[in-house]
Amino acid sequence: MSKVIISTTMGDITVEIDSEKAPTGAENFIHYVMDGFFNGTIFHRIIPDFMVQGGGMLPGMDEKESGEPIENEADNGLKNERGTLAYARTGDPHSATTQFFINLKDNGFLNHTAKNPQGWGYAVFGKVVEGMDVVDAMAGVETTNRRGHQDVPAEDILITKTVLIED
């Protein structure tokens, strides 16, 4: 299994990417890591006792141009449990590109239940193996509304670098 170190202005988070159960999501995430896509993006949405989200917005809340959406593979058996990474998406189940979130607690209501618009769920593709204390610290920052977005950290939490570590 591959690991990625996500270096942020609050500390490092090491995540294990599950390319066996989430091959599409894993390949997508690793592609963006290798391209340096996440460098300079921010964690732009933080909801305590729920999740922290990043991977697609630049400081100032400008959305970064991404590639094509990927197929939702939330039916892979992986659950939205504390410390797992899953893809953010719009109401279209197959609209995920680069934005991901880290679950701060078990969020079973986000899991796949059926292959219909209400049941698709949010595809988990990895989990935090080191640095959950950093994620928990993010959950405690002050948030505000900015440029039409809610739950935005008052001070930017920047992803400074992502590095792939092959096992």
Locate 80 and state its tokens: 């939205």
Local confidence band at 164 (pLDDT 50, 70, 90 cut-offs)? very high
pTM over 0.85: yes
- Domain that residue 85 falls in: 2-165
| Residue 1: per-residue pLDDT | 84
| Residue 5: per-residue pLDDT | 98
How far apart (Å, rounded) are the C-alpha atoms in residues 99 and 88? Answer: 5
List, for residues 62-119, the tens digit of each pLDDT value: 999 999 999 999 999 999 999 999 999 999 999 999 999 999 999 999 999 999 988 9
Q: Tell me if residue 30 falls in helix, strand or coil.
A: helix
Using the 8-state DSSP alphabet, how is residue 109 labeled? G
Find the CATH number of the domain harbouring 129.
2.40.100.10
**Count of domains observed in the chain:** 1
Locate 34 and state its tokens: 């290798």
- Ramachandran bin of 129, using left for φ above 0, alpha for ψ from -120 to 50, beta for the remaining angles: alpha
